[in-house]
Amino acid sequence: MKFRIDLKIFILVILFLITKQIKIYAMIMVFAIIHEFGHLLAGILLGMKPEKIEIRLFGVSIDFNLKRKDYNVKIKKGNLLEIKKIFVALAGPTTNAFIIIILMAFHHFNFNEYDNMIIIFSNITLIIFNILPIYPLDGGRILKSMIYIFKGKHIAEKYIYRISYVTLIIITIVSSIAILYLKNIAIFLAIIFLWGLQIKENRIYTNRKRLHDTIQEEINKYDEQSTNIPIQNEHYIDYTQRDQETVELKE
């Protein structure tokens, strides 16, 4: 299993130290790691093998090595692998919700009121952030898998990137207003992070679509050439008629 850390995270730590928001950022990162362990546990229970763990600016990402044979296992109109992906994506926000419930039930133990508020705020922030219908966040993954089940892969990919862009534009507008009033650099950095993710995923999708279109175009050209090959009648032999004539000669 591969491990990678985004070195820009150290620049972000310095910025939060300067703005005196490092405690909140550290708390969010801690619960983001717990969030990803929820994904990891769900994936392992569903028979998926973790392939890569990456520490990003605003959390952790786990990639699974998916078995190609699972793409052929159908359940009604859907695909078993996509249903597994939905459960894995739901596991992260569910883990954060579970932490909030436990903390609210046992809030009088160990933590003061301020720490409780930071922990609850961190987990609520992670839930809201991750359920946004922006790919590759959890909400985007869930939506993509649901569209895939009912409409197929190509339509799912086309729709999810359009939905992601529209959602991101709306969030950028709302966040810009919030930044003016709250003067919070974390909101600004989170928006930049989301745009970076979206641009990267869209580039991957564009390259994959271009490759698919090129292959399909070559297949269509080959099919056209195959159908346009003329039949050489002078070399055609009716073996049935020849065999009948041979039998008559023998008789």
Mean pLDDT of all residues in the chain? 77
In this predicted structure, the answer to whether residue 235 has a pLDDT above a threshold of 50 is no
DSSP letters for 103-150: HHHTTTSS--HHHHHHHHHHHHHHHHHHTSS-TTSHHHHHHHHHHHHH
CA 163, 154, 65 angle in degrees (round to 5)? Answer: 95
Which residues on adjacent β-strands are paired with residue 3? 53
Domain for residue 210, yes or no?
A: yes
Residues 126 and 143 in one domain: no
Which tens digit of pLDDT belongs to each residue from 80-106? 888 888 999 999 999 999 988 888 877
CA distance 81 to 153: 12
Give the pLDDT confidence of 173-191 residue by residue, as tens digits: 988 887 777 777 777 878 8
Kindly state whether residues 37 and 107 are assigned to the same domain.
yes
**pLDDT score at 97:** 93
Asked, for residue 171, whether it belongs to a domain, the answer is yes
Q: Evaluate whether residue 196 is within a structural domain.
A: yes
Q: Which residue has the tokens 């099919």?
A: 223
**Residue 237 and residue 198: Cα distance in Å, rounded?**
62
pLDDT in tens, 47-79: 888 777 777 766 677 777 766 555 555 555 557
- Most confident of the following: 38-47, 123-132, 226-235: 123-132
In DSSP terms, 61 is beta-bridged to 54
- Report if residue 69 sits inside a domain: yes
Instruction: Verify that 55 and 71 share a domain, yes or no.
Output: yes
Cβ contacts of 80 within 8 Å, gap of 6 or more: 70, 73, 74
Q: Are 206 and 157 in contact (CB under 8 A)?
A: no
Length reported for the chain: 251
Domain boundary among 111, 131, 151: 131
Shared domain check, 115 and 62:
yes
- Interhelix angle 153-182/138-151, nearest 10 degrees: 150
Out of 96, 113, 131, pick the residue that ends a domain. 131
- Domain assignment of residue 243, yes or no: no
Does 89 share its domain with 104?
yes
Does the bond joining 50 to the residue before it have cis omega, within 30 degrees of 0? Answer: no
Domain range for residue 148? 133-215
Q: Are residues 57 and 98 in the same domain?
A: yes
The count of domains in the chain is 2
Is residue 228 domain-resident?
Answer: no
Could you tell me which residues come within 8 angstroms of residue 171 by beta carbon, excluding any fewer than 6 positions away? 132, 134, 191, 194
Residues near 79 by Cβ (< 8 Å), separated by ≥ 6? 70, 71, 73, 148, 149
